[in-house]
Every structure is written in structure tokens, then in C-alpha cells.
Amino acid sequence: MRRIYPHRHLLGIEGLTRPEIVALLDAAESLFDVSRRSVRKVPTLRGKTVVNLFYEPSTRTRTSFELAGKRLSADVINISVSTSSAVKGESLLDTVQNLQAMQPDVLVIRHSASGAPHHIAARTRAAVINAGDGTHEHPTQALLDAFTIRRAKGRLEGLEVAICGDIVHSRVARSNAHLLTTMGARVRFAGPRTLLPVAGESLGATLYDRIEPALEGADVVMMLRVQRERLSGSFLPSTREYSRTFGLSPARLALAKPDAIVMHPGPMNRGVEIDPRIADGQQSVILDQVEAGVAVRMAVLWILAAETNEFSATGEPRPAP
């Protein structure tokens, strides 16, 4: 695996090549069924230690990484901000160096500061996985989104993907833009101008300040959460008006292709950015994304810890070298 994914860490999607992304998605594909077996465990990472270091609250991503590690038989430790030393004023670097001394193989980090995983990656022997850094990247989310799209559509190349909502504050939007454009899909960002990034075209996306033209003919519609904090920062006057002008209603979804899929990285604000009928409807793949998340994270853990692996991903012993 090292030859097709020649990096020590997964810090972001930006900079990954098409073959590297395909390798990660294919590895996830080969691991997908593990979670559907009656015994949901393979010995692949037996004896490996994975530390989940979460400086921001997270249920979905942390659980997903935890299950991924456990289903690969790794020892998984979760450290969340409420139990960590951060509240005692210890620096991130000191925390990481202390963890390092306990010889983890993989450090999964979520942090509110953009670039925090890059800061520690240069100073640890463990492989670092970015589980979301500030408003920068969330690479495993983009991979699980791509995995879900590929399963639903059979391809990524040539698809029209509309990503709608709070683009400027979204690490999901950034990672998805990098991944999808690298894979030959076209990305449209839609949101009110207060929530569109400056020079957003530099991410490879086309910017729309209304949702309707962005939805027109789309194969994939990805809705982003609108956080209530945005109301106090003069980004939005009210969630009511946001819902009326940018929420995904059945009438708006009809602008997309008839077989368009609807995605959401969660957590959802039902009735704000997405109509509950759509969230629970035929076109929604929102829960498929969650399931894909475990497979994708298993793949990433496996590939990054693969250096000294004695088993193939599915648990079959590897031929002797």
C-alpha cells in the first residue's frame, strides 16, 4: 500500500493525486463488508495503538474512528478535551510529546485551530490523521463522501456536485472541493455572499450566490449545517430567512437531476438547511455516508499503519516476502 499512498500522514486532501485517492477508496471498498459480518472484526492492526485526540466535541467522527480501529483489532484510546490536559494549560505539542512517549502508531486529531495537525505531524513519529482542523480540512469526510457518491453513481468523473450553505467556515467544503476536482467532478459552491469564501474559485469551485442555479442539473446535492453562531456574527439575519432562501425544499431539489442524491455531513438542522422530507426521503444517502465513514477510516488506519503489517486488509495472512 505504501507505494500507492506514499505519505506518512493524512493531513488533507489538497496535494493528493488521483491514484492515491483511488487507492484509499478501493481499500475502503475492500473493508466495507467487515462491518456487515456477524463477527465485525479482523486482526489486521492487532498490537497497534490508535489514539483519538479530540479537542473539539464530536460524536460521529470520534465514534467512527473508534469503531474503525476496533474492527481492525487495534487498541484504541480516546482523549477528549474535557479529560485532557488542555484545560490545565498544557500545550498541544506537550500533550502530543507525552503521548508519543507511550508509542502510539496512529494519532487521530481534531482541533479547532487550522493547521494544528501539521504542527504536530512534524514532531511525532506516529502517523497523524487529520479528523478536522478548524476551517481548513476534514479529509476522511471527503473520502467517505466520495465513497458514497461512487457507490451511488458508479463514478466521480464528470459529475456536477452542488455544495450549499456555510462554505466559508466549512472544512468539509474545502476537502470535498479538492477531492472532487482532482477526480474530475465539477463543484459548485452556493450560499449567501456572507458565507462564501474570498477567492473561493481558487479552490476549483464555481461560486453561486443563489441556490437555484447551483442545483440545476446537479448529480449530487450536499447541504452543510448552518451554525447558530453565524447569527451573532452578522453573517445571517435569521434561520427563518436562511431556510426560505437557501434551504433545500422539494421544489428546489426538483431542479437537480431526477436521480440526484442528497448528502449532509451532519449534524443536521432539520427545517433550516434541509426539509425533513428530503432528509428522510428516497434521494437521501445521509446514513450511507455514516456507514461509509467506518470503512473509509478503517482503510486510512490500515494504510497508514501498514508499514509493519503482517496481514492484508481483510485478515488473510500476507505471503512471506
Name the one residue in this structure whose C-alpha cell is 492487532: 46
Q: Which stretch binds another protein (CB under 8 A): 29-37, 89-97, 98-106, 310-318?
A: 89-97
Q: Which residues are within 8 A (CB) of 241 and not within 5 positions of it... i.e. 6 or more apart?
A: none
CA distance 182 to 77: 34
The DSSP bridge pattern shows strands 261-263 and 220-223 to be: parallel
Q: How far is the CB of 21 from another protein (least distance, A)?
A: 18
Binding mask of the shown chain, residues 176 to 205, with x at each position contacting another protein by CB under 8 A: ---------------------xxxx-xx--
CA distance 98 to 299: 27
Q: Identify which of residues 38 and 234 has a Cβ nearer to another protein in the complex.
A: 234
CA distance 52 to 46: 17
Site for another protein in 91-110 (CB under 8 A): 91-93
Q: Can you tell me which of 56, 73, 134, 207 binds another protein, judged by CB under 8 A?
A: 134
- Count the site residues for another protein by CB under 8 A: 25
**Contact (Cβ atoms closer than 8 angstroms) between residue 248 and residue 162:** no
Q: Identify which of residues 24 and 92 has a Cβ nearer to another protein in the complex.
A: 92
Residue 287 near another protein by CB under 8 A? no
Site for another protein in 147-176 (CB under 8 A): 171, 174
CA-closest candidate to residue 268, choices 260, 255, 259, 277: 277
Q: Identify which of residues 21 and 203 has a Cβ nearer to another protein in the complex.
A: 203
Residue 119 near another protein by CB under 8 A? yes
Q: Can you tell me which of 77, 81, 113, 152 binds another protein, judged by CB under 8 A?
A: 113
Q: Can you tell me which of 9, 48, 136, 252 binds another protein, judged by CB under 8 A?
A: 136
For every residue of 255-298, DSSP letters joined together read TS-TT-EEE--S---BTTTB-HHHHTSTTB-HHHHHHHHHHHHH
Q: Please, which residues bridge with residue 189 across strands?
A: 163, 207
Residue 62 near another protein by CB under 8 A? no
**Which residue stretches of 154-238 are H helix?**
171-182, 211-215, 229-232
Q: Which stretch binds another protein (CB under 8 A): 21-29, 75-83, 131-139, 287-295?
A: 131-139
Residue 116 near another protein by CB under 8 A? yes
Residue 239 near another protein by CB under 8 A? no
How far the first Cα of the chain sits from its last, in Å, is: 14
Q: Which stretch binds another protein (CB under 8 A): 82-90, 116-124, 224-232, 310-318?
A: 116-124
**Contact (Cβ atoms closer than 8 angstroms) between residue 309 and residue 317:** no
Residues that bind another protein (CB under 8 A): 14, 91-93, 111-116, 118-119, 133-137, 171, 174, 197-200, 202-203
